Amino acid sequence: MLRSLNSGVSGLKGFQTKLDVIGNNIANVNTVGFKKGRVVFEDIFSQTVKGATGPTQTPGPNPLPLSGGTNPIQVGLGTRIGSIDTLHTPGSPTTTNIGTDLYLDGDGFFVVEDAAQKQFLTRAGNFTLDSNNNLVNQNGMFVVGQDGEPINVPDKYITFSIDTNGRIIGVNPDGTSEDSGFKIGTIAVDNPKGLLKAGGSLYTLTPNADADAGDIAALFTEGSNAQIISGALEMSNVDLSEELTEMITAQRGFQANAKIITVSDSILEELVNLKR
């Protein structure tokens, strides 16, 4: 079997995966808090036809060169996906003028909690108040405060605002303002690429994302350097021009590998016809 046939097949698989990632990026171009993916290829391994040799010299106090060194001769055997990275570059902020829409300016994540008290990380700050004055996301998950507990805005306030530190400032019926005692929690992780996507613009912690993956309370204590901007949202960091260019490159790569398979098939056909 020709080596080029297997190499072409591996290339087709790799570029198909790249097109899958690009398609997902483009589909989420307007998704709040979405972080795009990137495919990185690596070669599988190489078959060594001849190893490397060093130069040889005559023995003695005045050695003379007998022969020079030679480089190894190797034939590559295809490609594979080395990694699919999630790029946590900041997305563009968009102004909404809705007080519960929050934008994180800097590194960090909001923390939300489901009914089973499982906590997730997110950059999507499109929060609202439910009928019980709980601050929740679009899926009804509770937004967690700096103390690790869900945030419930006291109903004694006629309105409230959120400052850049995440503190909820309530306005009393007499017009005076006061600190409600609630502060929106944000955490930072050592390696954001190590987070696991859980759908719904949510992430879960993994041991490779942070050494304190099992102790979110410790991460709340450390906090993050991000400022919270009320009345704005972070949009997707997908650049359409870049994605469309990558799509064209992936398409041409796919076509080139398909051509390798076609040519390899023609060569095999010629070999088979030698018997006739």
Residue predicted with more confidence, 87 or 218: 87
3-state helix, strand, coil in the chain (%, to 5): 25, 35, 40
CA atoms within 13 A on the CB side of 94: 13
- Span 140-150, mean pLDDT? 90
- Span 38-55, mean pLDDT? 89
pLDDT in tens, 157-176: 899 999 998 899 999 988 88
pLDDT in tens, 225-271: 889 999 999 999 999 999 999 999 999 999 999 999 999 989 888 88
How many CB atoms within 10 Å of residue 45?
10
Per-residue pLDDT at 40? 94
| Residue 232: closest CA among 155, 133, 160, 162 | 162
Q: How confident is the model at residue 60 (pLDDT cuts 50, 70, 90)?
A: low
pLDDT in tens, 73-87: 989 899 999 999 999
Are 160 and 176 a contacting pair, CB within 8 Å? no
Per-residue pLDDT at 239? 94
